[in-house]
Amino acid sequence: MRGDFKYISFFFVVIFLHFPSGNSNSPLAPALYVFGDSLFDSGNNNFLLTLSKANFPPYGVNFTKREATGRFTNGKIFPDFIADFLGLPFPPPYKTIRISVKPTGLNYASGSCGILPETGRDLGKCLTMDDQINLFERTVKFELPRYYQNSSELWGYLGKSIFVVTMGSNDYLDHFQPTISDSTRSLDPQQFAQLLIDQLSTKLERLYNLGARKIVMFEIGPIGCIPSITRQIKHNGTCVEDVNKAVAIFNNHLPSMLKNLNTTLPGSNFVLGHAYSLATNVISNPKLYGLTDTSNPCCTALANGTSICIPLLQPCPNVDEHVFWDGYHLTETMYSLMATRCFYGTSACTPLNIQELTQI
């Protein structure tokens, strides 16, 4: 999500991540490629002129060596857990590395961006979904070929790799902010959802044309429940249901869109990640998941808890019991839950979980 933002960190920490040489055990897939927004960003925005940054404490307080790497949470994010399960190193941010060994994945995700090219512009530069795919195209055409004898080997590597994508949250967050002017303001919820679905379908097909075959596309989560929304929009109950209903329209279109891609693109395997239903179930039944707080950010966040963490302040002592880390983002506990269920479970990712996807 946006990660705010209307704040320039004076504690800018540039973390150079070196490309790991690989796992000593045989991995379940040759590589993990990541596309998305700040839910999946592991540090690309550190190197962009943007207000959307998380490269200062308390971000990363529970990460390896307690580093603020640019992940918008207290520890690991969803792709980190999936990499662990696959037996791969964490995919490093594309902006931080020069590929010098055969890659086991890359992370192109960028905080504040979305499906639409104009999303997130009010915060500065971000890598739009088109930008991310352009960078992946450059990787495929100019960087990967040096490690393979021919195109058949390269396409075999790409075809066995796992691709995870989350996009759309920021498109809706921008759409619901009347201070932001864009060409979609006049669209009703059905029209806006269809616009996003049509553009997303085109971009996913482009990924396929670049060699991606095993793609996990996630629903938009219940953003009507995040502190940034619930603390700014008057509502009854736990969440702002008008926002969630609008997001649900987009999510309801996703299954048929992915099914159509599976049907029309030979050899493709598009998997749907049920982020919305899982998150709403957690928020409705927190005790079943060992959680106690489903509405407040764990860190002391700017703007009455609706924005990013205030630098250097200590977060809550029971972060593992919180759903939300700051005004927009989830805790490591939530990412761990989602990743575990999507990788091994039977309902969080359908029609296959990621472990099953690796076996195709």
Q: From the candidates 4, 38, 112, 274, give the one annotated as an active-site residue.
A: 38
Give the integer Cα–Cα distance in Å for 136 and 139. Answer: 5
β partners of residue 107: 34, 93
Q: From the candidates 4, 37, 41, 326, give the one annotated as an active-site residue.
A: 326
Is 274 considered catalytic here?
no
Contacts of 202 (CB under 8 A, 6+ apart): none
Q: Which two tokens stand for residue 234?
A: 């008057």
Task: Say which amino acid occupies 259.
Answer: K
End-to-end CA distance of the chain: 32
Is 322 considered catalytic here?
no
Q: Which two tokens stand for residue 116?
A: 């639409």
Q: Provide the 8-state DSSP code for 27.
A: P
* Three-state secondary structure call for residue 186: coil
β partners of residue 218: 273
Task: Say which amino acid occupies 26.
Answer: S
67: left (phi over 0), alpha (psi -120 to 50) or beta: beta
Q: Which two tokens stand for residue 253?
A: 């279109």
Q: From the candidates 80, 110, 329, 336, give the one annotated as an active-site residue.
A: 329
Is 201 considered catalytic here?
no
Contacts of 262 (CB under 8 A, 6+ apart): 268, 269, 270
Active site (catalytic) residues: 38, 326, 329
